[in-house]
Chain A
Amino acid sequence: MSERLRAVSGQVIALGVALLMGAIIILMVGESPVHVFMTLLRGAFGDQEKIAGTLLQTTPILICGVAACIGLRGGMFNVGIEGQLFLGGFAAAWVGFTFSLPTGIHTLAALALAVAAGAAWVAIPAYFRARYNTNEVVSTILSNYIAVLLTSYFTIFLFKRPGGWSETPPILATAYLPEIFAFSRLNWGLFIGLLLAVGVALVFRYTSWGYGVTMVGSAPKFAEYGGVNVKRQGFVVLLLSGAVGGLAGGVETLGVHHRFMEGFAPGFGFDGLIAALLANGSPVATIVTALFFGALRSGSLLLEVDTTASREIITVIQALIILSVSAQVLVRRRGDSQAGERRWKF
């Protein structure tokens, strides 16, 4: 328990340090940090519409975060969630505007294809990882570029809606994810994300399979010795992670945009990965960290209206968070060392 407490307090301190450094930078661009942070807070949680807006931004980050958590638990760094999200988003849109199916079934079919597309997309790096021990970090990062450009190609050359924008025709209303409130585009995708986070946490904690995967992630030689097929589980974990990444794209398409367009969800995949890292790979804690990043994004909309600071300051703060969180993890690891072993090895 104290172990967990230390982990949580470490992350909180890291966040604090990052915000402090962010405040200094805001001072340097000539704004008042208090004013900026208050504006952010107001922009994210000021009234019910703003809260809904924050939750709307939180949803894809949360689902992508859960995708990252699945990989991390099995020792796999899926940095290709962004690409899986794009393909999932396109696949869902394609089902949405190509077929006509009954309400509900249409949505499910579109989500199913989104999941399949995400899984299929990560299957390539996952196969090379399992077969040839290729570093999945590199191959999944690179697969992002192909995915983004491939979906652009589909959109512009194969399925472009007649007229101005680079976007597909709109999907049929039968494929929509229902909205929760009349005043916001916030939709059932949020529930999907929450259910997924809790469900994944339960699977890892309470199933034999989850136990094996966890061991592959934390002590691969021990898992191998105990009869877990390390390579196969690594493959499966990446596949599941990619599937959830694809789902995130499907949810975004069916719930928010109702079509696929170029650059429809920039950076959600990476934000999700960061949220998962900040949450130490725990899906439930990712709900909190995803909300934090969602609030940053949503609050930043008001930033340019009410302050002289640019929205980009949010990117700076995010980068500072990444830096301080990774530094914090290193420091904490050093604290673990009892025999002074680790001190010399980084």
Chain B
Amino acid sequence: MAVELTGITKRFGAFTANDGIELAVRRGEIHAIIGENGAGKTTLMNILFGLLQPDEGSIRLNGEATVVADPAVAIKAGLGMVHQHFKLVPSLSVADNVFLGMEIRRHGLIDHAAQVARTHELSKRFGLHVDPTERVGLLSVGIEQRIEILKVLVRGARTIILDEPTAVLTPQESRELFQTLRSFVAEGMTVIFISHHLEEVMEVSDTVTVLRNGRKVATRPTSELSKDELVRMMVGREVSFDRRPRAALHGDVVLDVKDLWARDDRRLPAVRGASFSVRAGEVVGIAGVAGNGQTELAEVLSGLRPASHGEAWLKGRDLTTLTPAAIREAGFAHVPGDRMVRGVDRNASIAANTLMGRQHRAPWSRSGVLDWKAIAGNAGALIKSFDIRAQGAADPVKRLSGGNIQKVVLAREFTNGADFLLIDQPTRGVDIGAQEAIHSEIMRQRAAGRAILLISVQLDELAALADRILVMFNGRIMGEVSGDNADEDRIGMMMAGVLPEPVAEPLS
């Protein structure tokens, strides 16, 4: 056994994140740990890696009882962890990042050539394609992840833990990652893979352990499991991901974007002449690999980034000329993609978080004086109606799991009375149960006649919800696909920048 956890229990105050979890990972297997958000996957892995100490239970690494007091112990025992959030130095080269803290030295100086050579060798051996001399700041997230994996390899890891590795990857990059993981196993290494993505788990893992509410539900060989069974074990009930039924409701044009251009933080053009419209009672999806201008588009529409050219009309007002506050006043709600930074104040209470954007409006305030009783009462109601798992409206948001934090954001934005909803990555890092609830809520908003622009990197999400899907590549809208017969191949090609056939789309 590479890793054996026995009776691991971890409590945060009154909340039990892990409750007597048993986990045995055989050497040379890909072991997936799957569960809803807040099921305790990340906590368990942090305990294994020495970032957290368990309240009860014991750990055996390679058959030896070990107290993993800190990550150094774990690394020494051959463990390596690739976190959800990368920790790289943008101004250093790939090779320098890989060897950061354990530089190869010659005559007391860093031997860059040797580092580059070793990085190159490892990257070739495991199919982790990187250019060792390139600066990290210029690279995409997918490549950053490869660097993180290389860092772990260079430190001699034989058991590699990956926390939600595919959350930031394109389908193509995910497939490459899976090949890399298989090559690890072929060399006798062990992989522990955290995910809540069913297909991936079915595709890549040998064994699956399912966690629910901090407890282990089962450990089974993947080959003996069906997707349905897996979902049932994760959420305890059936979940469908089919296209949502809908009535054609197309009303007037609410948002009309004309030849919109914008630059990113590096001052390079990120949105290049986007033109589209969204009608009342319509969900328009924007597909695309992350980093193709979707974030910038969302920021321009919500007033957080200036447009360099073009117009975006919302009910007769040009959003590109308005402040974020005026845009909200004009009937615009926004579920931001970066919910931890933009969407909430993690340290503030749920009540305070539901107030943002409406603090100047009755009944939340009168003549500039807040009515905290009304605010807390409303937050309590939202907690119920959006099924936010919290003790109360006074709970700080940082105590909630990712899915529940997203529900706080949705609860605030969907109850704003806005006609237009910009929803960016509504279910990123959110468990399946919450995903379903969020999708239902979006469809309810559609039925209520709201115009919805849905940006997502998950095609199945767009296929389930969108009436039309626009595909973005390199800042341009490559084409449009009807949601009713969304052809994954066609969308995939456009996401990769290939026009499947001459399309009569405004490309400008």
Contact = CB atoms under 8 A, between A and B. Distances in A.
Tell me, yes or no, whether A binds B: yes
B334 A225 contact: yes
Nearest to A228: B325
Interface string B330-343: 00001010000111
Interface in A165-213: 205-212
Given A3-B396, A224-B304, A206 B369 contact: yes
A238 to B, nearest CB: 21
B132 to A, nearest CB: 24
A341 B85 contact: yes
A215 interface: yes
Size class of the contact patch on chain A: 20 to 34
A132 B441 CA distance: 43
B370 A222 contact: no
Interface string A328-343: 0000000010111101
A219 B345 contact: yes
B302 A208 contact: no
A307 interface: no
A227 interface: yes
Contacts of B325: 227-229
B357 interface: yes
* Most chain B CB inside 10 Å of its own CB: which residue of A3, A226, A229, A343: A226
A210 B370 CA distance: 9
B342 A229 contact: no
B464 interface: no
A3 B51 CA distance: 22
Contact of A340 (B52, B323, B347, B370): B52
Contacts of B355: 211
Contacts of B435: none
B344 A219 contact: yes
A344 B304 CA distance: 31
A225 B302 contact: yes
B343 A222 contact: yes
Contacts of A205: 370
Size class of the contact patch on chain B: 35 or more
A226 B356 contact: yes
B51 A340 contact: yes
A221 interface: yes
Nearest to A337: B51
Contacts of A222: 341-345, 356
B370 A207 contact: yes
A229 B323 contact: yes
A229 B303 CA distance: 11
Nearest to B371: A206
A208 B323 contact: no
Interface in B310-358: 323-329, 334, 336, 341-348, 352, 355-357
B343 A208 contact: no
Given A225-B334, A338-B12, A339-B51, A218 B347 contact: yes
A336 B326 CA distance: 36
Nearest to B341: A221
B345 A227 contact: no
A211 B370 contact: yes
Interface string B26-50: 0000000000000000110010000
A218 B42 CA distance: 26
A221 B342 contact: yes
Given A227-B323, A339-B51, A215 B370 contact: no
Contacts of B179: none
Given A211-B355, A211-B359, A219-B348, A225 B85 contact: no
B344 A207 contact: no
Interface string B368-392: 1110100000000000000000000
Contacts of B46: 339-340
A207 B369 contact: yes
Given A218-B345, A344-B87, A224 B370 contact: no
B365 interface: yes
A206 B368 CA distance: 8
A211 B357 CA distance: 11
B360 interface: yes
Interface string A140-155: 0000000000000000
Contacts of B357: 226-227
B324 A215 contact: no
Interface in B50-72: 51-52, 71
A112 to B, nearest CB: 23
A223 B355 CA distance: 11
A199 B327 CA distance: 33
Contact of B368 (A2, A209, A226, A229): A209
Contact of A212 (B43, B304, B359, B398): B359
A339 B340 CA distance: 14
Contacts of A227: 323-329, 357
* Most chain A CB inside 10 Å of its own CB: which residue of B334, B359, B365: B359
Contacts of B370: 205-208, 210-211
* Most chain B CB inside 10 Å of its own CB: which residue of A206, A208, A215: A208
A199 B336 CA distance: 35
A229 B365 CA distance: 19
Contacts of A344: 87
A335 to B, nearest CB: 12
A155 B210 CA distance: 77
B461 to A, nearest CB: 22
A66 B426 CA distance: 42
Contacts of B302: 225
A225 B327 CA distance: 11
A145 B281 CA distance: 62
A215 B342 CA distance: 11
Contact of B304 (A3, A219, A225): A225
A11 to B, nearest CB: 17
A206 B355 CA distance: 12
Report the 7 A-B pairs with minimum CB-CB distance, sorted nearest first. Answer: A340-B51, A227-B325, A219-B345, A226-B356, A208-B359, A226-B357, A225-B342
Interface of A: 2-3, 205-212, 215, 218-219, 221-229, 336, 338-341, 343-344
19 contacts: A205-B370, A207-B369, A208-B359, A208-B365, A208-B368, A210-B370, A221-B342, A222-B345, A224-B304, A225-B302, A225-B342, A226-B328, A227-B327, A227-B357, A228-B325, A229-B323, A339-B42, A340-B46, A340-B51
Interface of B: 12-13, 42-43, 46, 51-52, 71, 85, 87, 302, 304, 323-329, 334, 336, 341-348, 352, 355-357, 359-360, 364-365, 368-370, 372, 396, 398
Given A208-B359, A211-B352, 17 more contacts: A3-B396, A205-B370, A206-B369, A207-B370, A211-B355, A215-B356, A218-B345, A219-B347, A222-B341, A223-B356, A225-B302, A225-B324, A225-B342, A227-B357, A229-B323, A339-B46, A339-B51
